[in-house]
Amino acid sequence: MMAAPTAPEKDSSNTSSGFQTAAAQAWRTIRLTLEYDGSGYHGWQRQPNGLTIQEVLEAALAKILGQEVRVHGSGRTDAGVHALGQVAHFRIATTLPVTAFRDGLNSLLPRDIAVLDAQEAPATFHARYAALAKTYEYRILNRPVRSPLHLRTCWWLNRPLDLHRLQAATQNIVGEHDFAGFQASGSDVKTTVRRVLKATWEEQPGGWKYFRITANGFLRGMVRNLVGTMVQVGWGKRPVEDVARILASGDRRQAGPTAPAAGLFLVAVIY
């Protein structure tokens, strides 16, 4: 586990704002929990060609603190993906009460991003490297008529899905496996082996089908590629055993299409 940096990338005081100099204050690690609608953003991490959650959050923090601060997230969420419990942290020398970060940020952030909680964390805490597991949820609206209200937060499919086939296919991914066959291109990870602790499909009133998965880590596009493949299983286009076959092959070309980003939520990060 990698320890948190001892100081942020940039350190400048702002005495004109009434803050003490950094030398007179103790360094603090602030942990944030965020909820956001990712529809209008190019994911969490800063990008040269599009607005991101990290960029907007850091800009708001700079207004509060009078200096630039680097915020570290628990991991990337891709363009269009949402979060119910993204975790981030930053290091700063200030005497501001911790509640000021939640309330101050929420007064500056756009309506599609909110800080649910802000709290002090140990100096060794790191949102990404201290994480033990994460839970994602994918939402499918499976009914004849689309929903204008949920247009940006689900995948609408009007063709019925067989829940029992979806549940049977999911049993093949629990445990430790090489998920290279469900990895998006462009990844540079050291290993494609991940351990899935739990994976379920559930049906809710109104035509909703939820896929929820908890694992010690996720590859780029892994959840959306799993969902796209299992939808084909749910339609009877693939046998239930196909998920296990793709895992064994490690060949992304044999898997199904990538499910749209709109239906994917980062639910929680486990520490």
Catalytic residues: 78
The total of other beta-carbon atoms located within 10 Å of residue 4's CB is 21
Cα 75 versus chain centre, distance: 6
Distance separating alpha carbons of residues 268 and 265, to the nearest angstrom: 9
Query: Is the distance from CB of 97 to CB of 1 less than 8 angstroms?
Result: no
Residue 215: name the closest of 179, 188, 167 by CA: 179
Rounded (5°) CA angle 187-191-196 = 100
Distance separating alpha carbons of residues 53 and 46, to the nearest angstrom: 8
Collapsed DSSP state (helix, strand, coil) of residue 163: helix
